[in-house]
Structure 1
Amino acid sequence: MGFMLPSLPYNYDALEPYFDKETMKIHHTRHHQAYVNNAACALESLLDFAHFPVDVLIQKLDQLPEDKRTVLRNNAGGHANHSLFWKGLKQGTTLEGELKSAIAYDFGSVEAFKETFEKAAASRFGSGWAWLVKKDEHLAVVTTANQDNPLMGEVITGASGYPIFGLDIWEHAYYLKYQNRRLDYIKSFWNIVNWDEASSRFCNS
């Protein structure tokens, strides 16, 4: 089975002061590693599914045996979500080009998009994710619970689309630094969005 914890493309302190070193280290080496381990265990007896890349596997949940469906929804979902999350973080990039134009077109302005995203992320009850997705040739902001991913589809998650980027809004992603100040954490995200990665995903979607 090919699932492995991906190395981060930066040091754990590279996103300071917005995301702190200790949170990044725990988040990556403990939380993400647990999703990888649990997904690998669940797939040991599912040879017909074990070869799929994780983004493909999570689109096939309805084909999995019922006794494996929930554990892989949670853990393959967690692996997919975090693998995208790490790549979507970087200091010093700029929103420009086709993605900037599409955001302005679909939301009215970049600032209106950010307000929509912040409101959605802040109002998601409990643990989950906020996403910018491409759906039906337009951009949209959606949220999902727990480790659900928009690639799982509307029937499963209540949201669908191709993820351009996502923000983890589980408390483990921010509590050491921000405690209960989720909105401060959400707003800090704009300083470290990897717009180059987001633009690449948008253009190749």
Structure 2
Amino acid sequence: MLFAISILAPCITLGCRSAPRAERACPAGFRADEARRATILAKLGEAPVGADTRDRALAKEKVTFCFGRLGVSSVTTSGVVLVDEALATSEAAARVGHLLTHVAEGLRVEPREGSDESCEVVTTRALAAEAKALSIELGLRRAFGVSPADARVRYAFESDFWATPEQAREALVLAYLRAHPDGAPGIDALASGYARRCREARDASSAR
């Protein structure tokens, strides 16, 4: 999941917020659907990790859910969750669990202020967060009975994920993300996108 660039965002990272914000408007092409939102959040409550992620994210932010057509459901830099309306409830809930992990825990894609950390370090940290969130999503897919063969979004590494010992699964996902910097089925161009955004943030900071 690559964070969508949004004109609603005053900063480039979810980790930079200090206080909850008011609910935001949906971008063009998307609409709010309170009934669908409630159904997805209720579904998340059926799995302990889903309930925990949901509750931590909603306690931190006033999260706006918007539904429309898009290839990869994502969350904007301002915390708007964009959900593909074609996803069935169980698959949508698993994906939302992934996205709310980023809201709850933050995802920094720029160097920390005053630090000299490289964009390679920043990108590695962001990819590790993505690997964790994807692992949570896959766990929720299984908990909710989403069959890889029937899912709208299919991950090429899903069967290998479940064949791998539990303690090594996140590492497997991380290796996959590193091997596909420009994206893959169901995966945005994460590594290349985060590296580019880090460089842009650094250039903007240097220009001040």
Normalised to the residue count of structure 1, the TM-score between the two structures is 0.29
